[in-house]
Structure 1
Amino acid sequence: MSKSLERKSWTEQRNAVFARDQQRCTCCLGRTGDVQTLDPDHNVPRGAGGSDRLSNLSTLCRRCHEAKHGDGIAPTVRLESTGEMTDVEFWWFKHLLKEMIPALAEDFNVRLQPKFGLEDDKVWYLPLGDIRLLDKQLLESDVEYQSLQAEQYM
C-alpha cells in the first residue's frame, strides 16, 4: 500500500473514531469541536499487537493522552480549602479525600488516588477520568445513586 493511501486510511479511521465518540474525550468527557486537540488512542498499543481497528481506538484529549503516556497531568477536579473550616473539620475533609473516597472507589474496582501538594498543602486534585469511571460504576450498581450528566463534568 502506498504511503498516501495508508495515510488516507489512517485519517479516515481517526475521523471515524472521533465521530463515534462524538468529538469527546472518553477519559474526562471533555468536548471540543477542534479535532486538533483530540488524539486517537490505541487501547492495546500497536507495539503490543494492537490494531488500528475502530474497536481498538478511543478518543482522548491531548492532556489525557499525554498523561496516559506519562508526559503530563490529566484533567482533574481541584479541591481547595477556603480556610473557613475548624481544624477538626479540615482534618475530616482531608481524611475524606485521602482515605474514604479512594476506599469507596476500590469497592467498585476503580483506582482513584488524589494528588496532594501540587501547588500547596491545601489543594487536592482528583483525576477527572477516574471520577467519571467511579460515577459510571456507582450508577450501574445496586446502591441508590444519582449520576451527573456528561455536560456537568466540565
Structure 2
Amino acid sequence: MAKETPSLNIDERKEAVRDRDRHRCVNCTASDVTLDVHHIVPRGRAGSNRLSNMVVLCRECHKAAHGNGMAPRVKFDNGTMQNEEFSLYLRYWRSLDVAIFDDSDNCWCVPKADMENLIDIIRQETNN
C-alpha cells in the first residue's frame, strides 16, 4: 500500500492512487478506458484527500458510485452457451442479489466486478 505523504499535492496523490491500484478500476478491473480517482467518502461530506480515501474507478463505475448510471455488466442469454452450462450459471445468478434479468434484452445481467468471483465458484464446483 502506498505510504501517506503529506507533502504530495492533489495531482501527485491521484497519481499515487493510480499506481497503487495498478491503473485499473478497483470495481470492474477495466484498464483500457478513462479512469477517474474517486473519493470513497466525498469531499463534500468531510472526506479527505488521504490516499486511503481514494480509489481508481472507470468512468462507468464512477458514475454508478454517484448514482448516475450502472456499473459495467456482463450479459448472458441461452444462445451464448450450451444448455447444461447455461443451467449451471442460471442457478448461481438466481442466488446473487446483483444479478438481474433484463426483459428488454431477454438476458441475465451480472455486474462485471462479480463475474470473476462467480466463475471461480463455478469452476471449483465443477472440478469437485
TM-score, normalising length: structure 2 = 0.70
Match of residue 43, structure 1, among 20, 40, 43: 40
Match of residue 115, structure 1, among 100, 103, 124: 100
1:117 aligned partner, one-letter code: D
Q: Deviations over 1:82-131 (max 9, x none)?
A: 1975xxx98x568525523x1xxxxxxxxx421222632x2111011233
1:58 matches 2:55: yes
C-alpha separation in 2, matches of 1:99 and 1:115: 8
Match of residue 94, structure 2, among 90, 99, 115: 99
Q: Which residue of 1 aligns with 2:109?
A: 125
Q: Any idea what SS the aligned residue of 2:79 has?
A: coil
Percent of pairs with identical residues: 36
For structure 2, the residue ranges without an aligned partner over 5 or more in a row are 1-7
Q: Say what the alpha-carbon RMSD is for the aligned residues.
A: 3.4
Q: Any idea what SS the aligned residue of 1:82 has?
A: helix
For structure 1, the residue ranges without an aligned partner over 5 or more in a row are 1-7, 103-111, 147-154
1:11 matches 2:8: no
2:108 aligned partner, one-letter code: W
How many residues of Structure 1 are paired with residues of Structure 2 in the alignment? 115
